Amino acid sequence: MLNASEELRLQEMDSIFLTHYGRAAEVVLRAPGRVNLIGEHTDYNDGYVLPAAIERSMLIACSPRTDGKVQAFAMNYNYSTLFSIEGVQPTSDTRERWSNYLRAMAWVMRRQGIEFTGADCVIQGDVPLGSGLSSSAAMLVASGLMFTSLAGAVIDPVKLALLAQQAEREFVGVNVGIMDQYISALGKVNHALLIDTRSLTYKAVPLPETGVSMVIADTNKKRGLVDSEYNTRRSECEQAVAILKNVYPGITALRDVSVEQLLAAEDELPDSVRQRARHVVTENQRTLDMASALEAADLKRCGELMNQSHESLAHDYAVSCRELDELVAAARSISGVYGARMTGAGFGGCTISLVADSALEEFSEKVPALYRESTGLEAVLTVTRAAQGAERIR
Ligand code: GLA
């Protein structure tokens, strides 16, 4: 189902589709962005994550073609692209970066034997780009749904998430975990998903429907270092596993190490590797604890866990930055804020705060002002409920 703002966006897309292609769009798909409540940098360690899909999405309106070509008009860029499915290649043209996701998904789906004969499409999104809210996962998952729909096929959403992850890894070139694609494909209204990234199963955890809101605040600091630092963190985690295996031969990932086990063996690890492992191992536990606290409607405990997660990401995992820290501090200075932390890969992007509804007004006035004072930057706030995952609308 579309929300009111998506309905409006789709009306405009329909009319642009008609002008652009001289016919109506037969199929419409939507895939949401996400915010992670807790469980950061745990997904590539086989661990737990607790994200929710948000009320910001990628919409694609399309109709089939029969000549093996995909033509797409991206409304956000006022730019068209055309490629043949057969010879699909990534492109280094910077105006075409967005269409790489479409190409990537076409390539991955073809390799899976999903046969489609081409498409005309119009794409429009309101997930902020480069802000750590997974606009790329939303684009990949929506494109994947489009190609399956056009092939007259049905796809299991976990499979769709895995293919989207593959596209991002192999074609776009970032070695990401599964969280973003999974939550975009499987999100549930008013729920966060406690995802076990090893078994790829989840438990839906209800979010409070009244009294408290999830507030996303964008630092407006575009994430710079993220790709190379991301891969460095991954290899530090692998290094930790290789060393800890000497002490605990049964382990295959940091997911298998308990907080107590790590404490008992941490002298074996070089300094930075020890810190990275400490973040992952404690964050896994916090994620499980947060799911229990949400189920018990213990918001105070949720807030404490979110605060601890931020400190761990800032000091042990070293993926925060001054802007994220300032925004988190500004949020925490408001009474009525249960907790605040960075969300996503880090080095910029967004924070997430759990805010009592009675404090929302004060939050919107004071947090951006405090942040402006300390950084000179404008924070952009979004209050969101948890949204449904990807779906075919028409
Ligand atoms: C990015 C990746 C995810 C996850 C987060 C950090 O969003 O795409 O797989 O690793 O960073 O938690």
pLDDT tens, residue by residue, 300-313:
999 999 999 999 99
Per-residue pLDDT, averaged over 47-66, amounts to 98
- Give me the pLDDT at residue 374, please: 97
d(CA 50, CA 381): 21
Residues 364-392 have pLDDT tens digits of 999 999 999 999 999 999 999 999 999 99
pLDDT of 34 higher than 90:
yes
Query: For ligand 1, atom 5, which residue shows the shortest CA distance?
Result: 345
Instruction: Tell me if 82 sits within 8 A of 69, measured CB to CB.
Output: yes
Q: Is the CB of 236 under 6 A from ligand 1?
A: no
Alpha helices in 32-188 (DSSP H): 97-111, 135-150, 157-166, 179-186
Coil, strand, or helix at residue 83? Answer: strand
Instruction: Tell me if 288 sits within 8 A of 305, measured CB to CB.
Output: no
pLDDT band, very low/low/confident/very high, at 224 (cuts 50, 70, 90): low
Query: For ligand 1, atom 9, which residue shows the shortest CA distance?
Result: 177
pLDDT band, very low/low/confident/very high, at 227 (cuts 50, 70, 90): confident
Residues 73-120 have pLDDT tens digits of 999 999 999 999 998 877 767 777 788 899 999 999 999 999 999 999
d(CA 177, ligand 1 centre) in Å: 6
Residues 258-282 have pLDDT tens digits of 999 999 999 999 999 999 999 999 9
Q: Is the CB of 44 under 6 A from ligand 1?
A: yes
Q: Which of 43, 46, 120, 180 is catalytic?
A: 180
d(CA 267, CA 264): 8
Query: For ligand 1, atom 11, which residue shows the shortest CA distance?
Result: 345
Q: How far from 216 is each of 44, 51, 341, CA to CA, in Å?
A: 24, 13, 10
Domains of the chain, CATH where assigned: 4-206+388-392 (3.30.230.10), 213-384 (3.30.70.890)
Q: Is 336 exposed, middle or buried (0-12, 13-18, 19+ CB in 10 A)?
A: middle
Per-residue pLDDT, averaged over 319-342, amounts to 98
In angstroms and rounded to an integer, the radius of gyration of the C-alpha atoms of the chain is 21
Dihedral sign (CA 159, 161, 162, 163): positive
Q: Is the CB of 177 under 6 A from ligand 1?
A: yes
Neighbouring C-beta atoms of residue 195, cutoff 10 Å: 26
Coil, strand, or helix at residue 366? Answer: helix
Mean pLDDT of the chain: 95
d(CA 44, ligand 1 centre) in Å: 8
Q: Is the CB of 179 under 6 A from ligand 1?
A: yes
Q: Is the CB of 344 under 6 A from ligand 1?
A: yes
* Closest atom, ligand 1, to C-alpha of 134: 7
Alpha helices in the chain (DSSP H): 4-21, 97-111, 135-150, 157-166, 179-186, 226-244, 259-265, 271-295, 299-315, 322-332, 360-375
Per-residue pLDDT, averaged over 27-42, amounts to 98
**Segment among 32-46, 98-112, 338-352 with least mean pLDDT:** 98-112
Active site residue 43: no
pLDDT of 223 higher than 80:
no
Which of 329, 251, 242 is CA-nearest to residue 284? Answer: 251
* Closest atom, ligand 1, to C-alpha of 49: 12
